[in-house]
Structure 1
Amino acid sequence: MCFDENKGQKTDSFLRLAMQKLKNNKGIVATAIFAFSLGVLVTQKFRSNGN
């Protein structure tokens, strides 16, 4: 079994790029997380009222 060093570098580069994009788009990411959380909360409220 041989280790492909290029694959490790590509993965590291991909992760670095992904982290940079997340840092640049903090507002969008925060809004998406908030909207998802609000949707889960509302769904749980409707389900608990139906019982």
Structure 2
Amino acid sequence: MKMRKKMCMKMNVRERERERERERVGKDDEKWKGAREVVVEDCSGLMAVL
């Protein structure tokens, strides 16, 4: 259970890194949004499994 929560937190860290990359690049906004939504869905799925 705890490992899955840590995985979720790691995903959130990656999500923040992607946000920074997206701000730096400033283009392909929709593509980045899609990637972020998928990460959030995965994280929610893990929490739901718990």
By relative contact order (CA 8 Å, sep 6+), the higher-ranking structure is 2
TM-score normalised by the chain length of structure 2: 0.49
Asked which structure has the greater CA Rg, the reply is 1
